[in-house]
Amino acid sequence: MSIDPDDLPIRDDLKGVTEYGAPMLDVAVQINTNENPSPPADELLAEITELVAQAATTLNRYPDRDAIELRTALAEYVSEQSAESGQLVSTDNVWAANGSNEVLQQLLQVFGGAGRSALGFEPTYSMHKIIARGTQTSYHSVPRGDDYSIRIDQAVEEIRESRPDVIFVCSPNNPTGTSTPLDDIVTLYETVAETESGVLIVDEAYAEFSHQKSAVTLLPCRPRLIVSRTMSKAFAYAGARIGYFVADPAVVEAAKRVRLPYHLSAVTQAVGIAALRHTAAQLRAVEELKVQRDRIFDSAQTLGYEPVPSDANFVLIGGFDDPSSAWQLLLDQGILVRDVGLPGCLRVTAGTIEETSAFVGELAKLDPNRTRTTAEDS
């Protein structure tokens, strides 16, 4: 006999809530969660095996609570990626956790919470709202423009008026793939700083795919700016569960006030350090994935759909008459894409050449009358 969770004495604000639910189905072509399709290279597998074997001998002890070696390696990686020269950030500027979702949760535990508010620009990453709810932070949103860009004047006005404690800017944005120009991020930051409202979190889960520089380059002298990153996407390490943020050292110290002690296991730390010794191999697929992303865009456009130009490793395709039936028809062919709940849209991750070809081939075969908005009915 099982009862409904709502029948338990759970918090009122969690009653009737649905969990994050990307379907996990074992099909041939999984292009629904923006993973990198390349498994770890042999050289990395050997490094992981060695470092995990070493870590295994210490498992009777708690791991390094501050994950210094991992954070140092992450700081070097971020500096190499973003700085024209020299070390842009160091260990003190970086904090790591089990995926960037945990990073964001820790940030909301610090800067959000009961009686506090967060602001996002919709459509955007659904977890921002879910993490806000979990930390009892109220969440407000401002709609993006027709091209899914943030309307900066409106955003500035909203920040001045509602003074949110946390502002989320996802760039490149999930699920639209659009980047927010760094100038606009500076404008938002200045509004936050001027009104002394809260902090600006730039979620850069797809930074390595973007044509523009990382917001990490804006960090010096901007203590209210926090850039969150992950190893799950371009870095091809979703299963390792490692995310991080880059910010002023004071933000790192603040995060330590809420993190659970020893939150990153010795095994996770070892696996992360191993990967950061093979950065080039891990990122090898990025350029190829951009080619596949552009193929998805071009093919969808040629077929009469309305894809959104993307700066990430996925494409939001609009113009479906009935996205859920298109989703099912693709699944029937062994292709899992994402129905993000946006009217007329499906989101498709750039996979291998073969996976992308399979998707493009099946998209071309969909019955346009059932799944696509045609010129006559739009």
- The residues that touch ligand PLP, with contacts defined as CB under 6 A, are 34, 99-101, 125, 170, 174, 203, 205, 230, 232-233, 238, 243
* Smallest gap from residue 298 Cβ to ligand PLP (A): 23
User: Are 249 and 93 within 8 A, CB to CB?
Assistant: yes
Q: What is the largest CA-CA distance in the chain?
A: 68
Give 264 or 366: the residue with its C-beta nearer to ligand PLP: 264
User: Are 170 and 116 within 8 A, CB to CB?
Assistant: no
Strand partners, 335: 29
What 3 state SS string does 230-252 have?
ECCCCCCCHHHCCEEEEECHHHH
Give 118 or 170: the residue with its C-beta nearer to ligand PLP: 170
* Smallest gap from residue 203 Cβ to ligand PLP (A): 5
* Smallest gap from residue 314 Cβ to ligand PLP (A): 9
* Smallest gap from residue 229 Cβ to ligand PLP (A): 8
Per-residue buried b or exposed e for 228-254, using 16+ beta carbons within 10 Å of the residue's own CB? bbbbbbbbbbbebbbbbbbbbeebbeb
* Smallest gap from residue 35 Cβ to ligand PLP (A): 9
* Secondary structure (3-state) at 201: strand
Sign of CA dihedral 192, 179, 315, 351: negative
* Smallest gap from residue 204 Cβ to ligand PLP (A): 8
* Smallest gap from residue 191 Cβ to ligand PLP (A): 22
Give 20 or 153: the residue with its C-beta nearer to ligand PLP: 20
* Smallest gap from residue 312 Cβ to ligand PLP (A): 8
Strand-pair category, 199-203 with 225-230: parallel
Instruction: Name, in order, each residue with C-beta under 8 angstroms of 205's C-beta and a sequence gap of 6 or more.
Output: 100, 125, 170, 174, 228, 229, 230, 232, 233
Give 33 or 195: the residue with its C-beta nearer to ligand PLP: 33
* Smallest gap from residue 227 Cβ to ligand PLP (A): 12
CA–CA dist 231, 242 (Å, integer): 6
Strand partners, 98: none
Give 243 or 307: the residue with its C-beta nearer to ligand PLP: 243
CA–CA dist 269, 96 (Å, integer): 9
Sign of CA dihedral 167, 170, 173, 179: positive
Give 267 or 303: the residue with its C-beta nearer to ligand PLP: 267
Instruction: Put residue 203 in one of left, alpha, beta given phi > 0 → left and psi -120 to 50 → alpha.
Output: beta
Give 197 or 230: the residue with its C-beta nearer to ligand PLP: 230
Give 36 or 79: the residue with its C-beta nearer to ligand PLP: 36
* CA 349 to the chain's CA centroid: 13
* Smallest gap from residue 128 Cβ to ligand PLP (A): 8
| CA-based nearest residue to 125, from 51, 82, 185, 177 | 177
Give 170 or 219: the residue with its C-beta nearer to ligand PLP: 170
Select the residue whose beta carbon is closest to ligand PLP and give its number. Answer: 99
Give 232 or 268: the residue with its C-beta nearer to ligand PLP: 232
CA–CA dist 372, 378 (Å, integer): 10
